[in-house]
Amino acid sequence: MQPWKTLARRTILNHSKYLSVEEHEVLLPDGRIIPDWPWIVTPDYANVVAVTEAGQFLVFRQNKYAVDGTSLAPVGGYLEPGEDPFAAAQRELLEETGFTANEWIDLGHYVVGGNRGIATGYLYLALDAVPVAAPDADDLEEQELLLLSRAEVEAALKAGEFKVMSWATAMALALLWM
């Protein structure tokens, strides 16, 4: 199988550091050209499934603008421009929870939209997390930090309480590794 090739690109919307839209001219492997392929650019992000030394999962209960109702969520946030994904994961864990972790497992990185780009999510499992500071998050949403057992996380995952795909994916992958 041959990949598609980008022949040209132009920005058609530069809304903010959180969103731009490009139009790509794409060459398909069979020689056809698509002159106006839409491409979405948003910041890459990291999600961290953090587990304490006692085996409790650090999970937020929160609301997000695009999510209907309250959701459970792991730690996470956008990478700063030029920031290493692992460094962002460590920063987000400390900022949002006040915890650091002794052991980190890279759960992989995944493109959000296979045909439209959007972002890459970097997923991590942080084990033996311990509190070292007060949380200092700048999140816009209200959130409540919970300590859940593995059984509670599994039940919440099965019940669809992690309502964002990357959150559910991070939790499921972490459970597979443990």
What is the average pLDDT value for the chain, to the nearest integer? 95
pLDDT at 139: 67
When pLDDT is averaged across residues 77-90 and rounded to a whole number, the result is: 96
Amino acid, res. 149:
S
Taking only the tens place, the pLDDT of each residue in 88-130 is 999 999 999 999 999 999 999 999 999 999 999 999 999 999 9
Average pLDDT over residues 67-78: 95
pLDDT in tens, 140-165: 668 899 999 999 999 999 999 999 99
pTM of the model: 0.93
Looking at domain 45-177, which CATH architecture does it have?
Answer: Alpha-Beta Complex (3.90)
